[in-house]
Amino acid sequence: MLETNAKPASAPEAKSFEGYFLAASEESQTAYREAIAAATEVAIAAFANRAQPYSGASPWQLAAELGKTEIWGDSGQFLPEILQNIGESTIAHSAIVSHPRCIAHLHCPPLIPALAAEVLITATNQSMDSWDQSPAATLVEQQLIGWLCGEFGYDAAGDGIFTSGGTQSNFMGMLLARDRYAKQHLNWSIQQQGLPPESAHFRILCSDAAHFTIRQACAHLGLGERAVVPVQSDTNYCISPTALEEKIRKLKQQNLLPIALVGTVGTTDFGSIDPLGLLGEIARLHGLWFHVDAAYGGALVMSDRHCHKLAGIETADSIAVDFHKLFYQPISCGAFLLKDQGNFELMKLHADYLNPETNEAEGIPDLVTKSVQTTRRFDALKLWISLQAVGRKAFGEMIDITLERATETAQAIAHTARLELANYPSLNAVVFRYLPQNTQRSNAINGQIRTTLLQRGEAVLAQTRIAGETYLKFTLLNPRTQRSDIEYLLHKIQQLGAELDR
Ligand SMILES: *Cc1c(COP(=O)(O)O)cnc(C)c1O
């Protein structure tokens, strides 16, 4: 404690800031309790009595409303009042993620145990970069990674790291693929020397339905988007192994260097799953790094009925899996898994202030060596708590029921005259379109169906394009969505389609 009487007698008392931080004093605890309680009420109000998944407000209306806010004044305002106002101006115009008609994207309603975990994650504010900033948290993350490696069929050599999501996990997969190739085949450290001249010839193969972040990663990694060679997918939107072998042969003929193969478990539009076992064999045969983007479909691991669809994933050198999709975690939460932990050496760095090599020698785990982030959230805690609170059975049932709902939805669409189904879903995304009499206006009408439902706040749907044609998409992640919700929506879509067709 500073001796206060060391100050000149005339100095005013320093403000204590006690009510601003969670600490030991009663004042601080009371402030925290009241703040969290007030926020809880605003959150509950946001979901209460919401007949629609969105208010329908346009970006212009929202900008005008929010423009009235004074960002900060000279003195702070009363928190419960601020929260109340935010509730009305902002939270009330959220997309209601647990509404059964909020089905546009891979955007999930978060589990309540995970929301409780978030309270602890943010209050304790552990940072996962160095062990001294996250002592127990580091070990929780590592244990969970060990468990995940086991679930995906890796042995004790496996390792991984929590990430911000699929974008970062795919980036890490492409980074390590690139750097390992240079090390093994060119005796070149990209980490030390930058890109070798041969890198202009590096090629990464994936299906033409793979996620755009594979191209993005290759662009960021100095390989350019041209390094990504799309392989034609079959009628089920899965990569065709014959087309793949043919592409590899052609690349080699042109003296290009195939370095990696990406398989997707759950393409964004169709939820299609590449034949992982076959891809693993082809990768091994040609010495390619095999990365599996299971951001969407990795959650099948929790379902006894559907986990067989992941067969072969254990042959992957690296796996991207997202928890803020079908594991029902709040954003953000994902993981990057590595079959051989030795490959983390390719990206390891030491900072004297953070993770000196002496720490490593003493066995102190500083996770910064495995991440492209430095300061990093303790997101592992919410998955850790959710798995314990929900358990294997209910998690599996949630996956099963959403897949079942998608299959039923596809069947209903296939049996409706004015609707055209684009895919039989292997996960829970269903792509289809309204077929107007006036076929020339099909794209315009389908686009308008989506925007009209959003503007009216009645449904949040996605759209996509197949061969230049506009389609609508339901992503049925929400296990609370009922058959009646789907029937209602399909009816609305046909009604609107007919109106617009006139
Ligand atoms: C969502 C998704 C990504 C991107 O992941 P983020 O978590 O949004 O960063 C990549 N690949 C696939 C297949 C996805 O579904």
pLDDT in tens, the chain (502 residues): 444 455 555 555 667 899 999 999 999 999 999 999 999 999 999 999 889 999 999 999 999 999 998 899 999 999 999 999 999 999 999 999 999 999 999 999 999 999 999 999 999 999 999 999 999 999 999 999 999 999 999 999 999 999 999 999 999 999 999 999 999 999 999 999 999 999 999 999 999 999 999 999 999 999 999 999 999 999 999 999 999 999 999 999 999 999 999 999 999 999 999 999 999 999 999 999 999 999 999 999 999 999 999 999 999 999 999 999 999 999 999 999 999 999 999 999 888 888 888 888 899 999 999 999 999 999 999 999 999 999 999 999 999 999 999 999 999 999 999 999 999 999 999 999 999 999 999 999 999 999 999 999 999 999 999 999 999 999 999 999 999 999 999 999 999 999 999 9
- Taking the centre of ligand 1 as the mean of its atom positions, its distance from the CA of residue 294, in whole angstroms, is 8
Q: In the chain, what are the domain boundaries?
A: 19-94, 127-377, 396-501
CA-324 nearest atom, ligand 1? 7
CA-264 nearest atom, ligand 1? 13
> 308 is written with which tokens?
């067989």
pLDDT of residue 350: 85
In the chain, count H helices and then E strands. 14, 11
Closest CA to 110 of 362, 396, 330: 330
Residue closest by Cα to atom 4 of ligand 1: 166
> 404 is written with which tokens?
């079942």
**Which regions of 187-232 does DSSP assign to beta strands (E)?**
202-207, 228-231
For domain 396-501, the CATH superfamily is Aspartate Aminotransferase, domain 1 (3.90.1150.10)
3-state secondary structure 276-326: HHHHHHHHHHCCCEEEEEECCHHHHHHCCCCHHHHCCHHHCCEEEEECCCC
CATH topology of domain 127-377: Aspartate Aminotransferase; domain 2 (3.40.640)
319, β-bridge pairs: 292, 337
Which of 228, 239, 273, 296 is the best mutation target for the ligand 1 pocket, counting ligand atoms within 8 Å of the beta carbon and taking the most? 296
pLDDT of residue 12: 59
Which of 212, 322, 428 is the best mutation target for the ligand 1 pocket, counting ligand atoms within 8 Å of the beta carbon and taking the most? 322
> Which residues, judged by CB distance below 6 Å to any ligand atom, belong to the binding site of ligand 1?
106, 165-167, 170, 211, 213, 264, 266, 268, 293, 295-296, 322, 334
CATH 1.20.1650, applies to 19-94: yes
* Whole-Å CA distances, 47 to 52, 92, 195: 10, 9, 51
pLDDT of residue 2: 45
**Strand-pair category, 469-475 with 429-434:** antiparallel
